[in-house]
């Protein structure tokens, strides 16, 4: 290992130690890969990406340059990689696929002159894409093979109130981008992504209704209820938690810090959590390892993630890897997918070599391992 990689390893271990020092301990070595945004729209196609550039919208450092709905090819290649790596009990590596269950119905919203919000299940969105019509069947094949386990991420990945207000005011290029069937504002990546942020606390009740609706779509789609939930952008009000527990959610996925709304976009109160902590009838599962090749291609993600996994195991915590869908999607840019899958393959090889007694589980299985 060269000096640069050694420094990456040391920095990763130190950062992970701060996350892992507190919280419940477990017996054994558990590895979970939590992956967000499955089912959510971003950039619909390479043609739309080219249109962004023609319109003077710089996405060179944005997730929008690569992120899209995963194609059938993307899913098949990802499933092959996961299936090639077996743990000590013969279980394949698997993705906890945190799913967005619906996307905006752009046609109906425009027909209402942007006065009303309408949505369509993500399964309907898939039918509008050229290499995606068979995706739900592929998702279910992945579920049956034990490599792809959907959990609930939200009904949609958009703050409905803020997005509609911006559309009604016709701010910037918002309507022009709307016509490309994207919620992208053209300014930054995250201006409308925080689904459960609020400008007024009264919106919390509407968030409950949206979540309940989304959970029902989840059950209707997959035939079972989600046991876990990850709020888009790690942003939610704690007042939602008792309601989530009533809906059957057992585990809150997230980072060490929850972003509690304050009424102002991008200004949040941070609330620290630790693994296994109980609150409002829920337990927190904390992401303590990070694998995001698409976010920073120049970084050695395999070595840094291995260092974080080692820290998790030293502190008797599950290794919970945060790895968004964007890392495995090549519908717009195949090189993006190929890089992510190659790194994932190398990471899993090294994990099995270094910790042959590791167990691959999905987040909804965690309760089996908690005493």
* Number of compact structural domains in the chain: 1
DSSP state of 225: -
Count of C-beta atoms within a 10 Å radius of residue 79: 20
Helix (H, G, I), strand (E, B) or coil at 268: strand
> Token pair 């892992």 is at which residue?
20
Predicted local distance difference test score (pLDDT) of residue 8: 61
User: Distance (Å, rounded) from C-alpha 265 to C-alpha 192?
Assistant: 9
Per-residue pLDDT tens for 120-147?
999 999 999 999 999 999 999 999 999 9
Helix (H, G, I), strand (E, B) or coil at 32: strand
Task: Name the phi and psi angles at 98, rounded to 5.
Answer: -75, 115
Mean pLDDT for all residues in the chain: 95
Judge whether residue 61 has pLDDT over 90. no
User: Distance (Å, rounded) from C-alpha 371 to C-alpha 367?
Assistant: 8
CATH number at residue 323: 3.20.20.370
Judge whether residue 14 has pLDDT over 90. no
Q: Which domain holds residue 97?
A: 3-369
Per-residue pLDDT tens for 212-226?
999 999 999 999 999
Give the confidence band of 40 by pLDDT, cuts at 50, 70, 90. very high
- Residue 76 CA to its chain's centroid (Å): 19
> Out of 11-25, 61-75, 132-146, 232-246, which region has the weakest mean confidence (pLDDT)?
11-25
Residue 200: CB partners within 8 Å, gap ≥ 6?
263
């Amino acid at each position: 290992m060269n000096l640069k990689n050694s420094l990456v390893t040391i920095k990763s271990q130190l950062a992970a130690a701060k996350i892992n020092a507190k919280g419940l301990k477990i017996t054994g070595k558990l590895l979970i890969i939590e992956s967000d945004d499955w089912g959510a729209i971003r950039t619909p196609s390479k043609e739309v990406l080219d249109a962004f550039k023609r319109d003077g919208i710089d996405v060179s450092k944005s997730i929008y340059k690569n992120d899209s709905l995963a194609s059938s090819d993307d899913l098949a290649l990802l499933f092959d990689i996961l299936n090639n790596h077996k743990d000590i009990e013969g279980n394949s590596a698997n993705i906890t696929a945190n799913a967005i269950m619906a996307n905006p119905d752009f046609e109906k919203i425009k027909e209402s002159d942007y006065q009303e919000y309408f949505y369509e299940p993500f399964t309907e969105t898939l039918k509008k894409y050229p290499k995606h019509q068979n995706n739900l069947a592929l998702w279910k094949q992945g579920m049956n093979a034990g490599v792809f386990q959907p959990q609930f991420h939200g009904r949609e990945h958009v703050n409905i109130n803020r997005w509609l207000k911006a559309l009604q005011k016709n701010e910037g290029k918002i309507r022009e981008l709307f016509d490309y069937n994207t919620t992208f504002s053209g300014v930054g990546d995250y201006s409308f992504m925080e689904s459960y942020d609020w400008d007024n606390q009264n919106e919390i009740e509407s968030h409950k209704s949206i979540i309940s609706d989304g959970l029902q779509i989840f059950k209707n789609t997959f035939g079972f209820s989600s046991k876990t939930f990850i709020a888009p952008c790690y942003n939610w009000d704690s007042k939602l938690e008792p309601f989530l527990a009533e809906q059957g959610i057992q585990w809150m996925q997230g980072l060490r810090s929850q972003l509690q709304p304050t009424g102002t976009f991008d200004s949040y109160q941070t609330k620290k959590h630790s693994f296994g902590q109980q609150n409002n009838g829920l337990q927190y599962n904390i992401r303590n390892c990070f694998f995001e090749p698409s976010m920073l291609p120049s970084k050695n993600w395999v070595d840094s993630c291995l260092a974080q996994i080692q820290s998790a195991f030293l502190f008797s915590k599950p290794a919970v890897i945060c790895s968004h869908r964007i890392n495995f999607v090549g519908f717009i840019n195949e090189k993006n997918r190929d890089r992510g899958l190659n790194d994932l393959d190398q990471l899993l090889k090294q994990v099995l070599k270094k910790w042959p007694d590791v167990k691959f589980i999905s987040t909804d299985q965690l309760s089996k391992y908690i005493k």
